[in-house]
Amino acid sequence: MTTVDEERRQAWLVDRVAVALPAPDGAMSLAGGIPVNPESISRALGSALAELHTIPADDCPFPALDGDVLSGRARGRVEASPLTADDGPYRGIAPARLLQILDDQMAGLGVAPPVIVHGSLTASDVWFHPEFGLSLTKWASVGLGDRHLDLAMGAKLLGDTYGYAVAGPFFEAYDLDRVDAVRLDAFQLLVHLLTI
């Protein structure tokens, strides 16, 4: 994707959601460390994703982020990497078995109502300004998808940065009633396999 394409996507989003506004001068990236209470950042990210996911998806001009396509990417990463059963939160489970579990989980999910998703949240995409709040950047992967993709990515990046105790405030700010635990579990495994 070109910079022009990404800028076009961001311009479409800016008219619809504040979190897509460019990070203001003085904003700090989560990747560089933000000297703010981790719970505050977690709540801000949960609220930002909730706002993003409420944009009407009917006129979204961007492609779908299909779970099957993402599972295929995860399969390719696992098959191409020197992954061992000692890696990450799925310690002790062989990579081939993780792929089987993922296939079973994804097959049992059915189709969720699509929302606008960021699709590739990393710590370098999350910016915070003490006065202006949170901004997200790098909109190259934005599209229609399952909200649980962004939620799994958000929980992982917060957990990797601050520890998983901040997941509770993140999901509370998003709205626990909008989170399906079974879907979230499947997407957390997917995100793990996509990011190894």
Give the domain ranges of the chain. 3-194
Residue that has been written with the tokens 């081939």 in this structure = 96
Q: Is the model's pLDDT at 81 over the cut of 80?
A: no
Q: What is the pLDDT of residues 116-147, one digit of tens each?
A: 999 999 999 999 998 888 999 999 889 999 99
Q: Using alpha carbons, select from 33, 19, 23 the residue that is nearest to residue 162.
A: 33
- Summarize the confidence of residues 82-105 as an average pLDDT: 77
Cα–Cα distance, 59 to 131 (Å, whole number): 32
Q: Quote the tokens at residue 66.
A: 């299909």
Q: Tell me the pTM.
A: 0.91
CATH topology of domain 3-194: Aminoglycoside 3'-phosphotransferase; Chain: A, domain 2 (3.90.1200)
